[in-house]
Structure 1
Amino acid sequence: MAARQRGRVAVFGDIGGQLGEFSRALTDLGADVAAGLLPADLTVIQLGDLVHRGPDSPGVLDLVARFLSASGDQWVQLTGNHEEQYLFVPPRFHWPEHLDEQHGDLIRWWWRSRQMAVAAAVDLPDGQVLVTHAGLTEGFWRKMLGAPESAAEAAERINSMASVFKRPVFRAGTMLGDPVDFTAGPVWAASGLELLPSWLIAGDLPFDLVHGHSSAWNWRRKQVMGDEALRPHLQIDEQHRHVRVQIGDHTVTGIDPGHGAKAAPRWAPLVLTDALVVQPA
Protein backbone atom coordinates (compact mmCIF):
# COMPACT_ATOMS: atom_id res chain seq x y z
CA MET A 1 0.00 0.00 0.00
CA ALA A 2 1.40 3.39 -0.99
CA ALA A 3 2.41 5.82 1.73
CA ARG A 4 0.14 8.77 2.35
CA GLN A 5 1.11 11.99 0.62
CA ARG A 6 1.01 15.56 1.87
CA GLY A 7 -1.79 17.47 0.15
CA ARG A 8 -5.46 18.14 0.85
CA VAL A 9 -7.21 16.52 3.80
CA ALA A 10 -11.00 16.87 3.71
CA VAL A 11 -12.64 16.29 7.09
CA PHE A 12 -16.34 15.44 6.85
CA GLY A 13 -18.68 15.94 9.78
CA ASP A 14 -21.81 13.93 10.53
CA ILE A 15 -23.49 12.60 7.36
CA GLY A 16 -26.57 11.02 8.93
CA GLY A 17 -27.78 8.99 5.96
CA GLN A 18 -27.60 11.86 3.47
CA LEU A 19 -26.18 9.89 0.55
CA GLY A 20 -26.89 12.50 -2.13
CA GLU A 21 -25.23 15.31 -0.19
CA PHE A 22 -22.22 13.17 0.68
CA SER A 23 -21.79 12.06 -2.94
CA ARG A 24 -22.07 15.62 -4.21
CA ALA A 25 -19.47 16.96 -1.77
CA LEU A 26 -17.04 14.16 -2.62
CA THR A 27 -17.53 14.74 -6.34
CA ASP A 28 -16.84 18.45 -5.85
CA LEU A 29 -13.47 17.47 -4.37
CA GLY A 30 -12.64 15.39 -7.45
CA ALA A 31 -13.65 11.94 -6.19
CA ASP A 32 -15.01 9.21 -8.45
CA VAL A 33 -17.95 8.09 -6.32
CA ALA A 34 -18.91 5.14 -8.53
CA ALA A 35 -15.41 3.65 -8.44
CA GLY A 36 -14.52 4.71 -4.89
CA LEU A 37 -11.40 6.54 -6.04
CA LEU A 38 -9.91 9.77 -4.69
CA PRO A 39 -7.51 12.17 -6.44
CA ALA A 40 -3.88 11.47 -5.61
CA ASP A 41 -3.57 14.67 -3.57
CA LEU A 42 -6.68 14.07 -1.42
CA THR A 43 -7.22 12.16 1.83
CA VAL A 44 -10.67 12.01 3.44
CA ILE A 45 -11.35 11.73 7.16
CA GLN A 46 -14.99 11.06 7.99
CA LEU A 47 -15.49 11.53 11.71
CA GLY A 48 -18.47 9.28 12.31
CA ASP A 49 -22.28 9.32 12.43
CA LEU A 50 -22.59 8.12 8.88
CA VAL A 51 -26.00 6.67 9.67
CA HIS A 52 -29.51 7.42 10.97
CA ARG A 53 -31.88 10.36 10.48
CA GLY A 54 -31.50 10.75 6.71
CA PRO A 55 -33.02 8.81 3.81
CA ASP A 56 -30.29 6.28 2.91
CA SER A 57 -27.98 5.05 5.66
CA PRO A 58 -27.27 1.73 3.88
CA GLY A 59 -26.31 3.65 0.74
CA VAL A 60 -23.88 5.81 2.72
CA LEU A 61 -22.23 2.72 4.21
CA ASP A 62 -21.98 1.09 0.77
CA LEU A 63 -20.33 4.27 -0.54
CA VAL A 64 -17.75 4.27 2.25
CA ALA A 65 -17.10 0.57 1.68
CA ARG A 66 -16.19 1.32 -1.95
CA PHE A 67 -13.70 3.99 -0.91
CA LEU A 68 -12.17 1.83 1.83
CA SER A 69 -11.71 -0.94 -0.72
CA ALA A 70 -10.43 1.13 -3.64
CA SER A 71 -8.64 4.06 -2.02
CA GLY A 72 -6.92 2.39 0.92
CA ASP A 73 -5.11 4.75 3.26
CA GLN A 74 -6.59 7.78 1.52
CA TRP A 75 -9.83 7.17 3.43
CA VAL A 76 -9.79 7.35 7.23
CA GLN A 77 -13.05 6.29 8.86
CA LEU A 78 -13.81 7.18 12.46
CA THR A 79 -16.65 5.97 14.64
CA GLY A 80 -19.41 8.14 15.99
CA ASN A 81 -21.94 7.34 18.68
CA HIS A 82 -24.39 6.10 16.04
CA GLU A 83 -21.88 3.53 14.79
CA GLU A 84 -21.18 2.64 18.42
CA GLN A 85 -24.85 1.59 18.57
CA TYR A 86 -23.81 -1.51 16.59
CA LEU A 87 -20.65 -2.25 18.60
CA PHE A 88 -22.11 -2.66 22.09
CA VAL A 89 -24.51 -5.47 23.05
CA PRO A 90 -26.98 -4.34 24.15
CA PRO A 91 -26.82 -0.86 22.60
CA ARG A 92 -26.22 1.91 25.14
CA PHE A 93 -29.00 4.18 23.91
CA HIS A 94 -32.31 3.81 22.12
CA TRP A 95 -32.66 5.03 18.55
CA PRO A 96 -35.82 4.38 16.54
CA GLU A 97 -33.97 3.53 13.32
CA HIS A 98 -32.02 0.30 12.97
CA LEU A 99 -29.76 -0.89 10.20
CA ASP A 100 -30.38 -4.26 8.60
CA GLU A 101 -28.14 -7.10 9.74
CA GLN A 102 -25.87 -6.86 6.69
CA HIS A 103 -24.98 -3.23 7.33
CA GLY A 104 -24.70 -3.67 11.08
CA ASP A 105 -22.24 -6.47 10.36
CA LEU A 106 -20.34 -4.15 8.00
CA ILE A 107 -19.76 -1.63 10.80
CA ARG A 108 -18.65 -4.42 13.13
CA TRP A 109 -16.27 -5.74 10.47
CA TRP A 110 -14.70 -2.31 9.99
CA TRP A 111 -14.17 -2.14 13.73
CA ARG A 112 -12.70 -5.63 14.11
CA SER A 113 -10.42 -5.18 11.09
CA ARG A 114 -9.32 -1.74 12.31
CA GLN A 115 -10.67 0.01 9.25
CA MET A 116 -12.59 2.19 11.70
CA ALA A 117 -10.80 4.12 14.44
CA VAL A 118 -11.74 6.68 17.09
CA ALA A 119 -9.10 9.35 16.44
CA ALA A 120 -6.98 10.74 13.63
CA ALA A 121 -4.13 13.25 13.66
CA VAL A 122 -3.17 15.58 10.83
CA ASP A 123 0.20 17.29 10.50
CA LEU A 124 0.19 20.87 9.15
CA PRO A 125 3.10 23.26 8.58
CA ASP A 126 2.19 25.15 11.77
CA GLY A 127 1.23 22.26 14.05
CA GLN A 128 -1.06 19.26 14.40
CA VAL A 129 -4.82 18.71 14.52
CA LEU A 130 -6.66 15.97 16.43
CA VAL A 131 -9.86 14.76 14.77
CA THR A 132 -12.44 12.79 16.75
CA HIS A 133 -16.19 12.46 16.59
CA ALA A 134 -17.05 14.59 19.63
CA GLY A 135 -13.77 16.31 20.48
CA LEU A 136 -11.24 15.78 23.25
CA THR A 137 -12.23 17.28 26.61
CA GLU A 138 -9.54 18.76 28.83
CA GLY A 139 -10.31 16.22 31.56
CA PHE A 140 -10.02 13.24 29.23
CA TRP A 141 -6.77 14.61 27.77
CA ARG A 142 -5.25 15.11 31.21
CA LYS A 143 -6.68 12.27 33.32
CA MET A 144 -7.20 9.46 30.80
CA LEU A 145 -4.42 10.14 28.28
CA GLY A 146 -1.74 11.61 30.55
CA ALA A 147 -1.64 15.04 28.85
CA PRO A 148 0.11 14.20 25.55
CA GLU A 149 1.73 17.20 23.89
CA SER A 150 1.00 16.24 20.26
CA ALA A 151 -2.16 15.31 18.40
CA ALA A 152 -0.40 12.26 16.98
CA GLU A 153 0.40 10.95 20.44
CA ALA A 154 -3.15 11.66 21.63
CA ALA A 155 -4.66 9.82 18.65
CA GLU A 156 -2.36 6.83 19.16
CA ARG A 157 -3.31 6.58 22.84
CA ILE A 158 -7.04 6.93 22.13
CA ASN A 159 -6.97 4.27 19.42
CA SER A 160 -4.91 1.92 21.59
CA MET A 161 -7.49 2.25 24.38
CA ALA A 162 -10.34 1.71 21.94
CA SER A 163 -8.76 -1.38 20.39
CA VAL A 164 -9.19 -3.24 23.67
CA PHE A 165 -12.58 -1.62 24.31
CA LYS A 166 -11.53 0.52 27.24
CA ARG A 167 -14.81 2.02 28.42
CA PRO A 168 -13.46 5.54 29.08
CA VAL A 169 -13.13 6.10 25.31
CA PHE A 170 -16.91 5.69 25.08
CA ARG A 171 -17.60 7.60 28.30
CA ALA A 172 -20.71 9.79 28.00
CA GLY A 173 -21.76 12.69 30.17
CA THR A 174 -24.78 14.87 29.62
CA MET A 175 -25.61 13.39 26.19
CA LEU A 176 -26.85 10.19 27.87
CA GLY A 177 -28.58 11.96 30.73
CA ASP A 178 -25.72 12.06 33.22
CA PRO A 179 -24.39 15.29 34.77
CA VAL A 180 -22.08 17.51 32.74
CA ASP A 181 -18.68 15.79 32.71
CA PHE A 182 -15.45 17.53 31.69
CA THR A 183 -13.88 14.08 31.26
CA ALA A 184 -16.51 12.88 28.75
CA GLY A 185 -14.90 10.83 26.01
CA PRO A 186 -14.13 11.63 22.36
CA VAL A 187 -17.22 9.84 21.02
CA TRP A 188 -19.79 11.49 23.31
CA ALA A 189 -18.68 14.89 24.69
CA ALA A 190 -21.23 17.68 24.20
CA SER A 191 -19.63 20.65 22.49
CA GLY A 192 -21.37 23.52 24.26
CA LEU A 193 -21.60 21.94 27.71
CA GLU A 194 -18.48 19.79 28.09
CA LEU A 195 -15.88 20.16 25.34
CA LEU A 196 -15.58 23.93 25.00
CA PRO A 197 -16.11 24.86 28.67
CA SER A 198 -13.47 22.34 29.76
CA TRP A 199 -10.81 24.07 27.64
CA LEU A 200 -11.97 27.64 28.23
CA ILE A 201 -11.56 27.07 31.96
CA ALA A 202 -8.10 25.57 31.39
CA GLY A 203 -7.18 28.54 29.21
CA ASP A 204 -5.11 26.81 26.53
CA LEU A 205 -5.06 23.83 24.18
CA PRO A 206 -2.02 21.67 23.41
CA PHE A 207 -3.05 21.38 19.72
CA ASP A 208 -5.99 22.14 17.44
CA LEU A 209 -9.17 20.03 17.61
CA VAL A 210 -11.78 19.20 14.97
CA HIS A 211 -15.03 17.50 15.93
CA GLY A 212 -18.60 16.77 14.89
CA HIS A 213 -21.34 15.09 16.98
CA SER A 214 -22.87 18.30 18.33
CA SER A 215 -22.58 22.01 17.76
CA ALA A 216 -22.24 24.89 20.18
CA TRP A 217 -24.49 26.82 17.80
CA ASN A 218 -28.05 25.91 16.81
CA TRP A 219 -28.14 26.65 13.08
CA ARG A 220 -31.92 26.74 12.84
CA ARG A 221 -32.67 28.82 15.94
CA LYS A 222 -29.51 30.95 15.73
CA GLN A 223 -28.66 30.51 19.38
CA VAL A 224 -26.00 29.02 21.63
CA MET A 225 -26.31 25.34 22.49
CA GLY A 226 -24.95 25.45 26.02
CA ASP A 227 -23.90 28.22 28.35
CA GLU A 228 -24.74 31.64 26.89
CA ALA A 229 -21.33 32.79 28.15
CA LEU A 230 -19.88 30.90 25.17
CA ARG A 231 -21.38 33.34 22.67
CA PRO A 232 -18.49 35.87 22.56
CA HIS A 233 -16.05 33.03 21.86
CA LEU A 234 -17.91 31.55 18.87
CA GLN A 235 -16.75 32.36 15.33
CA ILE A 236 -19.71 31.26 13.25
CA ASP A 237 -19.35 30.32 9.58
CA GLU A 238 -22.92 30.07 8.28
CA GLN A 239 -21.90 29.22 4.72
CA HIS A 240 -19.99 26.06 5.66
CA ARG A 241 -21.68 25.40 9.03
CA HIS A 242 -18.43 25.47 10.95
CA VAL A 243 -17.99 26.91 14.45
CA ARG A 244 -14.51 27.97 15.60
CA VAL A 245 -13.35 28.86 19.08
CA GLN A 246 -9.89 30.26 19.73
CA ILE A 247 -8.42 29.09 23.04
CA GLY A 248 -4.91 30.32 23.68
CA ASP A 249 -2.78 29.58 20.63
CA HIS A 250 -5.05 26.87 19.26
CA THR A 251 -8.52 26.40 17.81
CA VAL A 252 -11.48 24.07 18.28
CA THR A 253 -13.47 23.70 15.06
CA GLY A 254 -16.90 22.06 15.08
CA ILE A 255 -18.14 20.79 11.72
CA ASP A 256 -21.41 18.96 12.46
CA PRO A 257 -23.70 20.40 9.74
CA GLY A 258 -26.86 19.42 11.60
CA HIS A 259 -28.41 17.19 8.94
CA GLY A 260 -31.75 15.69 9.91
CA ALA A 261 -34.38 13.91 7.86
CA LYS A 262 -33.60 16.64 5.34
CA ALA A 263 -30.10 17.82 4.57
CA ALA A 264 -28.77 21.14 5.81
CA PRO A 265 -29.34 23.87 3.19
CA ARG A 266 -25.65 24.82 3.15
CA TRP A 267 -22.64 22.92 4.48
CA ALA A 268 -19.15 21.81 3.50
CA PRO A 269 -16.33 19.64 4.77
CA LEU A 270 -13.30 21.27 6.36
CA VAL A 271 -10.47 21.15 3.82
CA LEU A 272 -6.92 21.38 5.17
CA THR A 273 -4.07 22.09 2.74
CA ASP A 274 -0.40 21.06 2.82
CA ALA A 275 -1.62 18.42 5.25
CA LEU A 276 -0.62 14.84 6.06
CA VAL A 277 -2.56 12.27 8.10
CA VAL A 278 -0.09 10.78 10.59
CA GLN A 279 -2.52 8.75 12.74
CA PRO A 280 -3.89 6.13 12.37
CA ALA A 281 -0.47 5.05 11.08
Structure 2
Amino acid sequence: MPDIVVIGDVGGCAAQLTRAVAPLVDDPDTVIIQVGDLVDRGPDSRGVLDLVRARQEIAPERWIQLVGNHEAQYLGGEPFWPTRLDEDAATLLRTWWLKEWLRVAAAVRTREGEELLICHAGMTVATWRALGEPVTAATAADLLNTRPEELLWDSRGGPLWAEAASDLYGSWLDAPVVVPFGQVHGHSTVVSFARRAWLCPGRIRQRTTVDWAARHTFTRIRTARFIGVDPKHGRFGTDHWAPLTLPDATLLA
Protein backbone atom coordinates (compact mmCIF):
# COMPACT_ATOMS: atom_id res chain seq x y z
CA MET A 1 0.00 0.00 0.00
CA PRO A 2 1.24 3.51 -0.73
CA ASP A 3 2.00 6.33 1.60
CA ILE A 4 -0.62 9.02 1.12
CA VAL A 5 0.71 12.53 1.63
CA VAL A 6 -1.74 15.39 2.19
CA ILE A 7 -0.53 18.89 1.36
CA GLY A 8 -2.37 21.83 2.89
CA ASP A 9 -3.22 25.19 1.33
CA VAL A 10 -0.48 26.58 -0.90
CA GLY A 11 -1.81 30.09 -1.55
CA GLY A 12 0.55 31.05 -4.38
CA CYS A 13 3.75 29.96 -2.58
CA ALA A 14 5.40 27.97 -5.36
CA ALA A 15 8.80 27.70 -3.67
CA GLN A 16 7.29 26.08 -0.58
CA LEU A 17 5.29 23.61 -2.67
CA THR A 18 8.33 22.73 -4.77
CA ARG A 19 10.40 21.92 -1.68
CA ALA A 20 7.61 19.80 -0.21
CA VAL A 21 7.06 17.82 -3.39
CA ALA A 22 10.71 17.32 -4.42
CA PRO A 23 11.45 14.33 -2.14
CA LEU A 24 8.14 12.65 -3.04
CA VAL A 25 7.81 12.73 -6.81
CA ASP A 26 10.27 9.93 -7.59
CA ASP A 27 8.68 7.51 -5.13
CA PRO A 28 6.16 5.34 -7.03
CA ASP A 29 4.57 4.29 -3.74
CA THR A 30 3.50 7.82 -2.76
CA VAL A 31 0.16 9.40 -3.66
CA ILE A 32 -0.21 13.14 -3.07
CA ILE A 33 -3.54 14.76 -2.21
CA GLN A 34 -3.56 18.55 -2.25
CA VAL A 35 -6.53 20.11 -0.45
CA GLY A 36 -7.05 23.18 -2.64
CA ASP A 37 -6.33 26.91 -2.43
CA LEU A 38 -3.43 26.69 -4.82
CA VAL A 39 -3.69 30.34 -5.80
CA ASP A 40 -3.90 33.91 -4.44
CA ARG A 41 -2.14 35.79 -1.64
CA GLY A 42 1.41 34.47 -2.29
CA PRO A 43 3.93 35.67 -4.87
CA ASP A 44 3.64 33.01 -7.59
CA SER A 45 0.21 31.51 -8.23
CA ARG A 46 1.15 30.74 -11.82
CA GLY A 47 4.24 28.84 -10.69
CA VAL A 48 2.05 26.70 -8.42
CA LEU A 49 -0.33 25.90 -11.28
CA ASP A 50 2.56 25.01 -13.58
CA LEU A 51 3.98 22.58 -10.99
CA VAL A 52 0.62 20.89 -10.48
CA ARG A 53 0.00 20.68 -14.23
CA ALA A 54 3.37 18.96 -14.69
CA ARG A 55 2.55 16.41 -11.98
CA GLN A 56 -0.87 15.71 -13.46
CA GLU A 57 0.63 15.17 -16.90
CA ILE A 58 3.49 12.97 -15.70
CA ALA A 59 1.72 10.83 -13.07
CA PRO A 60 -1.98 11.69 -12.77
CA GLU A 61 -2.68 8.60 -10.66
CA ARG A 62 -0.26 9.90 -8.01
CA TRP A 63 -1.55 13.48 -7.71
CA ILE A 64 -5.11 14.09 -6.55
CA GLN A 65 -6.02 17.76 -6.77
CA LEU A 66 -8.92 19.05 -4.70
CA VAL A 67 -10.68 22.37 -5.20
CA GLY A 68 -10.62 25.18 -2.67
CA ASN A 69 -12.68 28.33 -2.34
CA HIS A 70 -9.97 30.36 -4.09
CA GLU A 71 -10.28 28.18 -7.19
CA ALA A 72 -14.08 28.14 -6.89
CA GLN A 73 -14.38 31.82 -7.80
CA TYR A 74 -13.28 30.89 -11.34
CA LEU A 75 -15.58 27.86 -11.60
CA GLY A 76 -19.01 29.20 -10.72
CA GLY A 77 -18.63 30.67 -7.26
CA GLU A 78 -18.78 34.39 -6.50
CA PRO A 79 -15.48 36.31 -6.91
CA PHE A 80 -14.15 37.61 -3.60
CA TRP A 81 -10.36 38.01 -3.90
CA PRO A 82 -9.36 41.50 -5.04
CA THR A 83 -6.46 40.38 -7.25
CA ARG A 84 -7.60 38.27 -10.18
CA LEU A 85 -5.61 35.59 -11.95
CA ASP A 86 -4.70 36.28 -15.54
CA GLU A 87 -7.03 34.77 -18.12
CA ASP A 88 -4.66 31.94 -19.06
CA ALA A 89 -4.48 30.79 -15.44
CA ALA A 90 -8.23 31.09 -15.00
CA THR A 91 -8.79 29.09 -18.19
CA LEU A 92 -6.42 26.41 -16.92
CA LEU A 93 -8.50 26.01 -13.75
CA ARG A 94 -11.72 25.80 -15.75
CA THR A 95 -10.15 23.15 -18.01
CA TRP A 96 -9.12 21.06 -15.01
CA TRP A 97 -12.65 21.34 -13.65
CA LEU A 98 -14.18 20.21 -16.94
CA LYS A 99 -11.74 17.30 -17.22
CA GLU A 100 -12.35 16.35 -13.57
CA TRP A 101 -8.72 16.90 -12.70
CA LEU A 102 -10.09 19.05 -9.91
CA ARG A 103 -12.15 17.06 -7.43
CA VAL A 104 -14.14 18.09 -4.39
CA ALA A 105 -13.18 15.29 -2.03
CA ALA A 106 -11.18 12.12 -1.48
CA ALA A 107 -11.34 9.40 1.15
CA VAL A 108 -8.65 7.19 2.66
CA ARG A 109 -8.34 4.39 5.18
CA THR A 110 -5.27 4.47 7.39
CA ARG A 111 -3.32 1.35 8.19
CA GLU A 112 -5.02 1.41 11.60
CA GLY A 113 -8.42 1.17 9.90
CA GLU A 114 -9.51 4.78 10.43
CA GLU A 115 -11.59 6.28 7.60
CA LEU A 116 -10.90 9.92 6.74
CA LEU A 117 -12.80 12.24 4.41
CA ILE A 118 -10.52 14.84 2.81
CA CYS A 119 -11.95 18.06 1.40
CA HIS A 120 -10.95 21.70 1.45
CA ALA A 121 -12.83 23.05 4.46
CA GLY A 122 -14.44 19.93 5.87
CA MET A 123 -17.97 18.54 6.00
CA THR A 124 -20.23 20.14 8.59
CA VAL A 125 -23.25 18.39 10.07
CA ALA A 126 -25.52 20.48 7.82
CA THR A 127 -23.65 19.35 4.69
CA TRP A 128 -23.63 15.74 5.91
CA ARG A 129 -27.39 15.85 6.39
CA ALA A 130 -27.94 17.52 3.01
CA LEU A 131 -26.09 14.59 1.42
CA GLY A 132 -28.32 12.03 3.14
CA GLU A 133 -26.12 11.31 6.18
CA PRO A 134 -23.52 9.04 4.52
CA VAL A 135 -22.04 6.51 6.92
CA THR A 136 -18.62 6.11 5.28
CA ALA A 137 -15.97 8.56 4.18
CA ALA A 138 -15.91 6.97 0.71
CA THR A 139 -19.64 7.52 0.20
CA ALA A 140 -19.36 11.09 1.43
CA ALA A 141 -16.51 11.78 -1.00
CA ASP A 142 -18.41 10.21 -3.91
CA LEU A 143 -21.45 12.37 -3.15
CA LEU A 144 -19.38 15.55 -2.92
CA ASN A 145 -17.72 14.64 -6.22
CA THR A 146 -21.10 14.85 -7.94
CA ARG A 147 -20.56 18.61 -7.40
CA PRO A 148 -23.80 19.64 -5.64
CA GLU A 149 -23.70 23.34 -6.52
CA GLU A 150 -26.01 24.45 -3.75
CA LEU A 151 -23.39 23.18 -1.28
CA LEU A 152 -20.17 24.01 -3.14
CA TRP A 153 -20.87 27.68 -3.67
CA ASP A 154 -22.40 28.19 -0.19
CA SER A 155 -20.04 30.56 1.64
CA ARG A 156 -21.95 30.06 4.92
CA GLY A 157 -20.44 26.75 5.88
CA GLY A 158 -20.19 24.65 2.72
CA PRO A 159 -17.34 22.16 2.11
CA LEU A 160 -15.16 24.85 0.52
CA TRP A 161 -15.94 27.51 3.13
CA ALA A 162 -16.58 26.09 6.60
CA GLU A 163 -14.53 27.67 9.38
CA ALA A 164 -12.84 25.01 11.49
CA ALA A 165 -13.77 26.14 15.00
CA SER A 166 -17.25 27.56 14.54
CA ASP A 167 -18.73 25.75 11.55
CA LEU A 168 -16.96 22.40 11.39
CA TYR A 169 -15.97 21.34 14.91
CA GLY A 170 -18.76 23.31 16.54
CA SER A 171 -21.43 21.63 14.44
CA TRP A 172 -20.24 18.11 15.30
CA LEU A 173 -19.81 18.92 18.96
CA ASP A 174 -23.36 20.27 19.14
CA ALA A 175 -25.09 17.54 17.12
CA PRO A 176 -26.53 14.57 19.06
CA VAL A 177 -25.23 12.10 16.47
CA VAL A 178 -22.47 9.56 16.12
CA VAL A 179 -19.57 11.10 14.17
CA PRO A 180 -19.38 8.64 11.26
CA PHE A 181 -15.78 9.19 10.16
CA GLY A 182 -12.79 11.45 10.66
CA GLN A 183 -11.79 14.31 8.41
CA VAL A 184 -8.73 16.08 7.04
CA HIS A 185 -9.18 19.68 5.93
CA GLY A 186 -7.37 22.88 5.04
CA HIS A 187 -8.87 26.38 4.70
CA SER A 188 -8.72 27.45 8.35
CA THR A 189 -7.22 26.43 11.65
CA VAL A 190 -7.89 26.68 15.37
CA VAL A 191 -4.50 28.19 16.23
CA SER A 192 -2.12 30.92 15.13
CA PHE A 193 1.05 29.09 14.23
CA ALA A 194 3.03 32.31 13.97
CA ARG A 195 2.09 33.43 17.50
CA ARG A 196 1.60 29.97 19.01
CA ALA A 197 -1.80 31.10 20.19
CA TRP A 198 -5.24 29.49 20.30
CA LEU A 199 -8.09 30.80 18.14
CA CYS A 200 -10.90 28.60 19.43
CA PRO A 201 -13.15 28.11 22.44
CA GLY A 202 -12.00 26.03 25.38
CA ARG A 203 -14.15 23.05 24.48
CA ILE A 204 -12.21 22.68 21.22
CA ARG A 205 -8.84 23.49 22.76
CA GLN A 206 -9.20 20.72 25.34
CA ARG A 207 -9.79 18.21 22.54
CA THR A 208 -6.90 19.42 20.36
CA THR A 209 -3.21 18.68 20.14
CA VAL A 210 -0.88 20.67 17.88
CA ASP A 211 2.23 19.74 15.91
CA TRP A 212 3.71 23.24 15.87
CA ALA A 213 6.67 22.24 13.68
CA ALA A 214 4.58 20.58 10.95
CA ARG A 215 1.66 23.03 11.43
CA HIS A 216 -1.00 20.37 11.89
CA THR A 217 -3.81 20.23 14.44
CA PHE A 218 -5.57 17.09 15.71
CA THR A 219 -9.00 17.46 17.29
CA ARG A 220 -10.84 14.51 18.79
CA ILE A 221 -14.65 14.72 18.62
CA ARG A 222 -16.06 11.62 20.26
CA THR A 223 -14.55 8.69 18.36
CA ALA A 224 -13.35 10.65 15.29
CA ARG A 225 -10.24 12.68 14.53
CA PHE A 226 -10.36 15.98 12.65
CA ILE A 227 -6.96 16.97 11.25
CA GLY A 228 -6.22 20.51 10.08
CA VAL A 229 -3.39 20.89 7.56
CA ASP A 230 -3.52 24.55 6.46
CA PRO A 231 0.01 25.86 7.22
CA LYS A 232 -1.03 29.51 6.83
CA HIS A 233 1.70 30.47 4.39
CA GLY A 234 0.53 34.06 4.15
CA ARG A 235 2.02 36.36 1.52
CA PHE A 236 5.56 34.99 1.52
CA GLY A 237 5.33 31.39 2.73
CA THR A 238 6.78 29.66 5.74
CA ASP A 239 9.66 27.21 5.78
CA HIS A 240 8.49 25.72 9.07
CA TRP A 241 5.82 23.22 7.99
CA ALA A 242 5.42 19.74 6.53
CA PRO A 243 2.83 17.73 4.61
CA LEU A 244 0.77 15.16 6.52
CA THR A 245 1.93 11.61 5.81
CA LEU A 246 -0.46 8.66 6.20
CA PRO A 247 1.79 5.62 5.84
CA ASP A 248 0.49 2.43 4.21
CA ALA A 249 -2.93 4.01 3.65
CA THR A 250 -5.61 2.92 1.18
CA LEU A 251 -7.24 5.36 -1.22
CA LEU A 252 -10.99 4.73 -1.06
CA ALA A 253 -12.42 7.49 -3.29
TM-score (structure 1 length as normaliser): 0.85
**Counterpart position of 2:241:** 267
| 2:169 partner letter | L
Q: Is the 8 A contact 1:224 1:230 kept in 2?
A: no
| 1:59 partner letter | G
Match for 2:132 among 142, 146, 154?
A: 146
Structure 2 gap segments, 5+ residues each: none
| 2:123 partner letter | L
| 1:169 partner letter | L
| 1:246 partner letter | R
TM-score (structure 2 length as normaliser): 0.94
Q: Is the 8 A contact 2:96 2:102 kept in 1?
A: yes
Deviation at 1:265, TM superposition (A): 3.9
Deviation at 1:149, TM superposition (A): 1.0
Q: Within 2, Cα distance between the matches of 1:132 and 1:20? A: 23
Deviation at 1:78, TM superposition (A): 0.4
Q: Within 2, Cα distance between the matches of 1:149 and 1:167? A: 21
Match for 2:87 among 98, 101, 104?
A: 101
Q: Count residues in correspondence.
A: 251
Match for 1:75 among 63, 68, 72?
A: 63
Q: Within 2, Cα distance between the matches of 1:99 and 1:7? A: 35
**Counterpart position of 1:177:** none
Q: Within 2, Cα distance between the matches of 1:138 and 1:235? A: 22
2:140 is aligned with 1:187? no
**Counterpart position of 1:168:** 151
**Counterpart position of 1:134:** 121
**Counterpart position of 2:13:** 18
Deviation at 1:228, TM superposition (A): 4.2
Matched position secondary structure for 1:274? coil
When residues 223 and 93 of structure 1 are mapped into structure 2, their CA distance, relative to the original with a 3 A threshold, is farther
2:45 is aligned with 1:57? yes
Deviation at 1:264, TM superposition (A): 2.1
Match for 1:218 among 192, 195, 198?
A: 192
- In the TM superposition, 1:180-259 aligns within 5 A as 184-202=157-175, 204-259=178-233
Q: Within 1, Cα distance between the matches of 2:38 and 2:194? A: 21
**Counterpart position of 1:7:** 2
Q: Is the 8 A contact 1:51 1:57 kept in 2?
A: yes
Q: Is the 8 A contact 2:12 2:40 kept in 1?
A: yes
Matched position secondary structure for 2:145? helix
Matched position secondary structure for 2:89? helix
Moved more, 188-197 or 124-133: 124-133
Q: Within 1, Cα distance between the matches of 2:23 and 2:170? A: 35
Q: Within 2, Cα distance between the matches of 1:68 and 1:230? A: 37
Q: Within 2, Cα distance between the matches of 1:82 and 1:253? A: 21
Deviation at 1:172, TM superposition (A): 1.7
Q: Within 1, Cα distance between the matches of 2:95 and 2:45? A: 17
| 1:216 partner letter | V
Structure 1 gap segments, 5+ residues each: 1-5, 32-37, 174-183
**Counterpart position of 2:99:** 113
Q: Is the 8 A contact 2:78 2:153 kept in 1?
A: no
Q: Is the 8 A contact 2:204 2:219 kept in 1?
A: no
Deviation at 1:200, TM superposition (A): 1.5
Please tell me the root mean square deviation across aligned C-alpha atoms, in Å: 1.5
